[in-house]
Amino acid sequence: MLDLRSYACLGAALRDALDRFSSEVCLIEADRDREKVRLTYSDFKEIALPLARALEDADFDAGDRAAIIMTNQSKWLISAYAIFYCGGVLVPLDYKLSAIEHLQLLAHSKAKILIVEYHLWRAIMQSPDFQKIGTRIVLVTEAPLGADLAGAFRWEDFRRKGAPDFVLRQREDTACIVYSSGTGGRPKGCVLTHENYLEQCRALTAWYPFWPGVRYLSILPTNHAIDFMVGFIGPFVCGACVVHLRTLRPEFVRDAFVRYRITYVSLVPMIVKNLERGLRVKFDELPSWKRAFLNTMIATNKLLTRRRPKVKLSRMLLGSVHRAFGGELLALITGGAFMEPSTMQFFYDLGIPVVNGYGLTEAGTALTLNDLKPFRADTVGKPLPGVELRILNPDADGIGEVAARSATVMSHYLDDPELTLETIVDGWLLTGDLGRFDGNGHLQLFGRKKNMVVTEGGKNIYPEDIENVFDGLPVKEHCVFAANYIWPRKELGGEILVLVLRLEQNQHFDATLLEEISARNRRLPDFKRVGGYLIWDRDFPRTASMKVKRQVLGEEIGKSAERGAIVGL
């Protein structure tokens, strides 16, 4: 592994990695049962540098911003490296957002370059706001020859001969602008520096190192904070290999584990839970004598690995289970949402630890991680090296808001000094999450102080972003809240959004209004829909500039209404 303490920026570290590990395989890209791409670090370099030279010739200068909107594939990482090589700032956008949201975030980030997949570019071109796009150059991957690209270039053709000049950046310079929410309300562009990423990578690899021969299966979107670090930066600076799949159908994911003998994979809790369900079904289908034998082996493994994982032993006792995962899997990595302890314990008893962590976009990737010394299913682990955590204003049970200080904490929110000052106070990041430390220094989480919902799939949903969908409702005013924000409870999971309605004087809630609300709700993706509504009998408190005082309104509702007053949709 490279000594990241000696590097000033990601571009320099990645450049040296491409030379040091030149003969190692760095990327494999498979589509269904067919392998499309296999690149060594040397191959990667040969493809990336002509792209960097073309960007250089297009006056893409140090500090300029370039956005990427793509599914997981080799071109994502190649493009990111070329951007860093030129000294640029990367803006990774979620390909699952709508075309309108993509255009809004491109405008907010002031991206000069856009690198986008063909089917996503077609959707953007069809948007009513397409003419407002401000990016100067657009590169489209996998576009058919002769396709109408509205002035954009084919990524595959955007090349120049000659060696580009490497642009060195400093640790305090911006590396990425990462958006932690959508655009319906207040875009939250987290400005993360090269220092943030280099120190995060050092901390993570201190506990979970990569090395040549390790194969990481990249399933989470590469724009996701976890996969960007663990599925790109971490493996590359250690000479490991990243495996991309162009399909996430379960049968091909299962095949990838075996075919590529995967070492690590990062999954959101929802997928881990689905894996558990699938295994339990298979176990239940076994003949009674085989099931009894399996249960004996699981109980034996559980007893012998109670304090620490013992991979070789577990593979001997439960060989068939481990072979189904390729026989080389060391751990499942998860985070970003509530993970049921019973699910983590289920996999640990099979000899496949689930490494659970806690973090947020504003803090890079992770603040805590389970170091498996010992394994704990009821916590999100210990603070990573270099991370300080505090519990602010703890109650009688020791539970309070988690605050973090670390070299991995973002610089600021893009163009939002007010929100930055509210979020980072005296150098401490106020997470809005409620937690406490147990006697062994492990962090336990108990809910959220902030008005936000985290889905099982790891999506952060800000109620403010949902309200625009309900604009124009025939009511006096409306507001969207996370139910747990109004009625705090010390537990995670089961979070829903609530639409709070203030009706006009003498107005009655009727079937027509209900159908209008339901119709608008159906326009939202499943994970963004409100779960119910509540009728409020008072005007919303507002500031002098007529903004709703959310905290005051939430407190008033919490004191006057019960959670049971929510009517489901």
pLDDT digits (tens, 9 = 90+) for 224-259: 999 999 999 999 999 999 999 988 788 888 899 999
**241-245/215-218 β-pairing:** parallel
Task: Supply the mean pLDDT for the chain.
Answer: 92
Domain with CATH 3.40.50.980 in the chain: 4-259
Query: What pLDDT digit, counting tens, does each position of 166-200 carry?
Result: 999 999 999 999 997 644 557 899 999 999 999 99
CATH class of domain segment(s) 268-446:
alpha beta
Query: What pLDDT digit, counting tens, does each position of 357-400 carry?
Result: 999 999 998 999 999 999 999 899 999 999 999 999 998 889 89
Q: Say how far apart CA 198 and CA 234 lie, in whole Å.
A: 9
What's the mean pLDDT in 20-24?
Answer: 98
What's the mean pLDDT in 43-64?
Answer: 98
Q: What pLDDT is stored for residue 185 in this prediction?
A: 59
- By CB neighbour count within 10 A (0-12 exposed, 13-18 middle, 19+ buried), where does 330 fall? middle
Q: Say how far apart CA 177 and CA 83 lie, in whole Å.
A: 13
What's the mean pLDDT in 46-63?
Answer: 97
Q: What pLDDT is stored for residue 369 in this prediction?
A: 96
Query: What pLDDT digit, counting tens, does each position of 396-443 carry?
Result: 889 899 999 999 999 999 999 999 999 999 999 999 888 999 988 999
Across 58-62, 506-510, 547-551, least confident range: 547-551
Instruction: Give the strand order in the sheet containing 477-482.
Output: 477-482, 497-502, 532-536, 567-568
Place of tokens 């163009």: 415
Q: What pLDDT is stored for residue 230 in this prediction?
A: 95
Q: How confident is the model at residue 495 (pLDDT cuts 50, 70, 90)?
A: confident
Domain with CATH 3.40.50.12780 in the chain: 268-446
| First CA to last CA distance, the chain | 53
pLDDT score of 465 more than 80? no
Domain with CATH 3.30.300.30 in the chain: 461-568
Q: What pLDDT is stored for residue 478 in this prediction?
A: 94
Q: How confident is the model at residue 66 (pLDDT cuts 50, 70, 90)?
A: very high
pLDDT score of 11 more than 50? yes
The CATH classification number of 461-568 equals 3.30.300.30
Categorise residue 140: left if φ over 0, alpha if ψ from -120 to 50, beta otherwise: beta
- pTM: predicted TM-score of the whole model, two decimal places: 0.85
DSSP per-residue letters across 492-519: -S---EEEEEEPPTT----HHHHHHHHH
Q: Say how far apart CA 118 and CA 73 lie, in whole Å.
A: 13
Q: What pLDDT is stored for residue 544 in this prediction?
A: 67
Q: What pLDDT is stored for residue 183 in this prediction?
A: 46
What's the mean pLDDT in 333-352?
Answer: 90
CB 501 within 8 A of CB 475: yes
Which CATH number is correct for 4-259, 1.10.10.10, 3.40.50.720, 3.40.50.980, 3.40.50.300? 3.40.50.980
Q: What pLDDT is stored for residue 457 in this prediction?
A: 67
Task: Select the more confidently predicted residue: 152 or 270.
Answer: 152
pLDDT score of 63 more than 80? yes
Packing angle between helix 41-57 and helix 74-85, nearest 10 degrees? 50
Handedness of CA 466, 467, 472, 475 (dihedral sign): positive
Query: What pLDDT digit, counting tens, does each position of 115-167 carry?
Result: 999 999 999 999 999 998 999 999 999 999 999 999 999 999 999 999 999 99
What's the mean pLDDT in 76-95?
Answer: 97
Instruction: Give the strand order in the sheet containing 189-193.
Output: 153-154, 137-141, 113-117, 65-69, 89-92, 174-179, 189-193, 412-413
What's the mean pLDDT in 21-50?
Answer: 96
CA-based nearest residue to 138, from 203, 128, 127, 124: 124
Q: What pLDDT is stored for residue 338 in this prediction?
A: 76
pLDDT score of 321 more than 70? yes
Q: What pLDDT is stored for residue 417 in this prediction?
A: 95
Task: Identify which of 2-11, 243-252, 269-278, 492-501 has the greatest average pLDDT.
Answer: 2-11
pLDDT score of 75 more than 90? yes
Q: What pLDDT is stored for residue 295 in this prediction?
A: 96
Q: What pLDDT is stored for residue 545 in this prediction?
A: 59
